[in-house]
Structure 1
């Protein structure tokens, strides 16, 4: 059974019902020999990174959109999951694509960016696309989520009716504790990252601590890295139509993926649009 067939079957057994919450594999008719493993964020589903996948697919990239265990099912399911499971799913997508001889890049949104960075420390990645990555969440109690979960199991999150099939309105604090596990590994992982990396963030992000994406960017070991900061009108989720700058995000991703770094040693720099 292929990777995507196995993952879709796993999703069905876990209780995924909505078709946009399943993992996906986009394979162009004339592939360019490159693939990208994309990872969605915490409490969301593969739907949230599909616009990026579609843009890459149209440029003949093979794209695997993973579903992190505990997502697209129920808050109770997410509560029992571990960060190691999230990493394993991303790694299995990588290994399946590598078996086809493809040159593989990685990308992730928010917590998915942390998973992609962890993957980059375990497997050779050609490039990295990081959307709203962070080293610290904005809520001052987030670092203590694992302990607090014994007293307050869930955190309420405002989710509109139209988005209720794709985002959780209750987020288990125990699972936020698993995000903290990923964060604890970042000081060791970031200097190891040598792949060219694009970091996109915004000053309008109400989820992560101000300036935390910049700190992450500065600690990356890659000599070829680009940071772009959007303004206050851009939310945490950069990869869906709720972002008024989505088209710019997609274009920057394509430009970065098509950029040749090996012959351009001076490529790391910062740009901003505030």
Structure 2
């Protein structure tokens, strides 16, 4: 299982679900995206291609141990998994808080604002300060928009089974754009779930009051995907 965290975060963001997946028998690898876990200044120098390269390297590493690779990504991590699925074969992917549009009204202007105001500052409570940057480089937001532009024409060509989950209480992205991404995916087997206003952007930590439900949905989807991909045994007749 390849775990991909979100923008300005660290693999710590995926720890709760990663532990649960390990307990279910999945070989799990949580990668650290370039520019993360270091400093906002370092992140400001990275491009989405650097992030995608790291995700693909993680996939190759897991491929040494497992024949079938599943992925789970949060937010920008979900977008990177979708981009990976356009390049390699994956058995399934869980997309937590996927999107095609950010919520902030100035997000689309990051490409030129980054030259005037390089960083966006936000106060963080102590319990989350270890997982996220308080200062986020606007060049990173610009890279996210580049990633989205890269993804759009690929979505209909992607056939990887997918589970997409959004929360309508999300204050980071436009939830309807997550539904749009799901609709555009060419996957024959795909599922979409939308939680209510009590569910925030980060779905896989205890800050989400419905995290247990999200985890259960994810495990059910993964189990079904494994069953669907398993070769039929003698006497097992499957109808296409």
**Same fold by TM-score, threshold 0.5 exceeded?**
yes
Structure 2 residue runs of 5 or longer lacking an equivalent are 230-237
Is 1:217 aligned with 2:182? yes
Is 1:182 aligned with 2:143? no
In the comparison of the two structures, how many residue pairs are matched?
A: 230
Moved over 6 A (4+): none
1:162 and 1:264 map into 2 onto residues whose CA distance is 50
2:196 and 2:171 map into 1 onto residues whose CA distance is 12
- Indicate the structure whose relative CO is greater, using CA pairs within 8 Å and at least 6 residues apart: 2
Aligned equivalent of 1:103: 68
What value does the CA root-mean-square deviation take over the aligned residues? 1.3
Note closer, same or farther for the CA distance 1:232–1:107 as it changes in structure 2 (3 Å cut): same
2:11 and 2:48 map into 1 onto residues whose CA distance is 17
Cα drift, residue 231 of structure 1: 0.5
Aligned equivalent of 1:136: 101
Does structure 1 retain, via aligned residues, the 8 Å contact 2:166–2:175?
no
1:147 and 1:47 map into 2 onto residues whose CA distance is 31
SS in 2 for 1:229: strand
Aligned equivalent of 1:58: 23
Is 1:86 aligned with 2:51? yes
Structure 1 residue runs of 5 or longer lacking an equivalent are 1-35, 266-274
2:77 equivalent among 95, 100, 112: 112
Cα drift, residue 186 of structure 1: 1.8
1:188 and 1:264 map into 2 onto residues whose CA distance is 32
Aligned equivalent of 1:47: 12
1:264 and 1:236 map into 2 onto residues whose CA distance is 39
Aligned equivalent of 1:5: none
Cα drift, residue 101 of structure 1: 4.3
Aligned equivalent of 1:30: none
The alignment's TM-score, normalised by the length of structure 2, stands at 0.92
1:194 and 1:52 map into 2 onto residues whose CA distance is 25
Cα drift, residue 100 of structure 1: 2.9
Does structure 2 retain, via aligned residues, the 8 Å contact 1:191–1:221?
yes
The alignment's TM-score, normalised by the length of structure 1, stands at 0.81
